[in-house]
Amino acid sequence: KNQVEQSPQSLIILEGKNCTLQCNYTVSPFSNLRWYKQDTGRGPVSLTIMTFSENTKSNGRYTATLDADTKQSSLHITASQLSDSASYICVVSDSWGKFQFGAGTQVVVTP
Partner 1 sequence: KAGVTQTPRYLIKTRGQQVTLSCSPISGHRSVSWYQQTPGQGLQFLFEYFSETQRNKGNFPGRFSGRQFSNSRSEMNVSTLELGDSALYLCASSFGGPTASSYEQYFGPGTRLTVT
Q: Is 71 in the site for partner 1 (CB under 8 A)?
A: no
Shortest distance (Å) from residue 100 CB to partner 1? 8
What's at 86, amino acid-wise?
A
**50 lies in the site for partner 1, by CB under 8 A:** no
Residue numbers 5-24 binding partner 1 by CB under 8 A: none
**Which residue, 80 or 102, has its beta carbon nearer to partner 1?**
102
Residue 89: name the closest of 51, 30, 46 by CA.
46
Pick the binder of partner 1 from 3, 22, 32, 59 (CB under 8 A): 32
Nearer to partner 1, 74 or 100 (CB): 100
Please list the helix, strand and coil fractions of the chain in percent, rounded to the nearest 5, in that order: 5, 60, 40
Closest CA to 100 of 50, 31, 8: 31
Residues 6 or more apart from 72 whose CB is under 8 A from it?
Answer: 22, 23, 24, 25, 66
Q: Which segment (12-20, 52-60, 78-86, 88-96) binds partner 1 by CB under 8 A?
A: 88-96
User: What is the binding site for partner 1 (CB under 8 A)?
Assistant: 31-32, 34, 41-46, 49, 89, 91, 93-99, 101-104
